[in-house]
Structure 1
């Protein structure tokens, strides 16, 4: 089967590592231009649904098991919440900080998969966890922050920053959704799971819009037309990210897959410097490198 071949799987992992931080760049650019995070997420889902209907007319709509629908409903709800919190975090914080923080997803995914999929980590996995924590402290320990002017801030103080709390909430939701997504993929295919991830995600965000930003959707739609190229670029990169994730999850344990994805932390730091001129590049690269080392330990030896 093509999707299970090693070269194709390796390509999917590489695409995921590059496309995800690039999607974060477009999300941050849109929120800097007054786009609402919820509207950005809903539009991304909606555009992806249209792409699916046009290019994949052979998608399966019937004959799927009840367990598939149960898993997809949970997956889509958690993914939607994670995406909205992620875009909001990108609006408030630096990509070069929030990208590496995503390495904690490997930890959450590993813990969830223990109970849901019976995937038990080893001692190397625990060592990887320690490295991820140590590396994240280096990434976050920015002396330009007000609370650090007169000395080092405590680790707990660093994690109280609003953008970091939002990013942590986003990764918890997305890590949990990854475990349920794998169950849905096992019961169908990566393509079918991708389609319903888009459809249900759009449905959840649309309902949320009706209750929260129904008075401003016209202004957001006008901004969509002005920023259509950025929205299309975001749609492309999110689509590539999710499809590559589905292919990888279909062929690897959840904890290992999420750990490998964290190599994108280094790409996020570089993109943060290139697109937004974020500072502390050397310190953040070192910290991100330590976190990547921890993720590799989890993925290969954990």
Structure 2
């Protein structure tokens, strides 16, 4: 169950990164918020090259990288836009819908098959996402769904879930045509360099703002580096759909962070929804792999 431990680690670091950036960099624009972890993470990823074997890349490496990288840039930028606009506990949990899209894209791109237990586990995760907004059920059965569109960060994060459904599967193709760490180094180094150049050139980010709090920035870079290591390694050990489903339990950590550090309200149903997601993750881990 090493893949499970790594996937939970990826979930933890993903939620921690979002909470950390929201806590210490929310005075910046959403563009700059999304750039900070990767701006400071670039040197860490590059330094890793000295400690890993450089693999020979397969034929699917460059074609997949060509479409995964731009989609990933859009998805991550929207991710930080969502947490900039809305409470953490009403944004990150909506990534629990990603496994549904991974289920579809994984079957099309990777020819992966899922057991009925795995599908049942993913459905539980999705139900948990519904329950998180259950306090809106007083407006009818569709109340929790309508609440998504009333909270801009939730609606944006649902779009991010669609994009992550694609990039997660494409990312696995990149990993399978190289190695977990080499894929992480290439993807996130290119991401950090290209996004920095684009945002500085277009005036969406200021170098002064990026380097204003270097110690906090380095901490953000370390967190995103740890997430990438856990994510890419776990991807090689199990189905993309299963790994991403477990990683979507980042929503559980986000509810806790929202309650503890941001004093967000309406936590009761969000905790219940998080518990349902945990049950879905357990079904996948125990019987779906």
Tell me the TM-score normalised to structure 2 length.
0.87
2:67 to 33, 55, 74: 74
Task: Give yes or no for the alignment of 1:13 onto 2:7.
Answer: yes
- How far did residue 81 of structure 1 move? 1.2
CA displacement 1:100-120 (0-9 Å, x = unmatched): 211111221122101111112
- How far did residue 237 of structure 1 move? 1.1
- How far did residue 129 of structure 1 move? 4.1
Partner SS, residue 60 of structure 2: helix
Structure 2 unaligned regions, length at least 5: none
Return closer, same or farther for 1:32/1:290 CA change in 2, 3 Å cut-off.
same
Partner SS, residue 119 of structure 1: coil
- How far did residue 61 of structure 1 move? 7.0
Structure 1 unaligned regions, length at least 5: 1-5
1:261 to 224, 247, 259: 247
CA displacement 1:116-135 (0-9 Å, x = unmatched): 11112233344334423332
Q: Residues 106 and 295 of structure 1 are in contact (CA less than 8 Å); yes or no, is this contact kept in structure 2?
A: no
Q: Residues 131 and 293 of structure 1 are in contact (CA less than 8 Å); yes or no, is this contact kept in structure 2?
A: yes
Q: Residues 121 and 283 of structure 2 are in contact (CA less than 8 Å); yes or no, is this contact kept in structure 1?
A: yes
Q: Residues 31 and 91 of structure 1 are in contact (CA less than 8 Å); yes or no, is this contact kept in structure 2?
A: no
Separation (CA, whole Å) in 2 of partners of 1:230 and 1:142: 36
For 2:19, the equivalent position in structure 1 comes to: 25
For 1:229, the equivalent position in structure 2 comes to: 215
Return closer, same or farther for 1:62/1:257 CA change in 2, 3 Å cut-off.
closer
CA displacement 1:19-51 (0-9 Å, x = unmatched): 111001022224521x22223333432322212
Task: Give yes or no for the alignment of 1:209 onto 2:199.
Answer: yes
Partner SS, residue 50 of structure 2: coil
Tell me the TM-score normalised to structure 1 length.
0.84
Separation (CA, whole Å) in 2 of partners of 1:156 and 1:271: 23
Moved over 6 A (4+): none
For 1:39, the equivalent position in structure 2 comes to: 32
Return closer, same or farther for 1:55/1:196 CA change in 2, 3 Å cut-off.
closer
Which shifted more, 269-278 or 63-72?
Answer: 63-72
Task: Give yes or no for the alignment of 1:192 onto 2:186.
Answer: no
Task: Give yes or no for the alignment of 1:286 onto 2:272.
Answer: yes
Q: Residues 112 and 179 of structure 1 are in contact (CA less than 8 Å); yes or no, is this contact kept in structure 2?
A: yes
Task: Give yes or no for the alignment of 1:122 onto 2:122.
Answer: no
For 1:154, the equivalent position in structure 2 comes to: 143
Cα RMSD (Å) of the superposition? Answer: 2.5
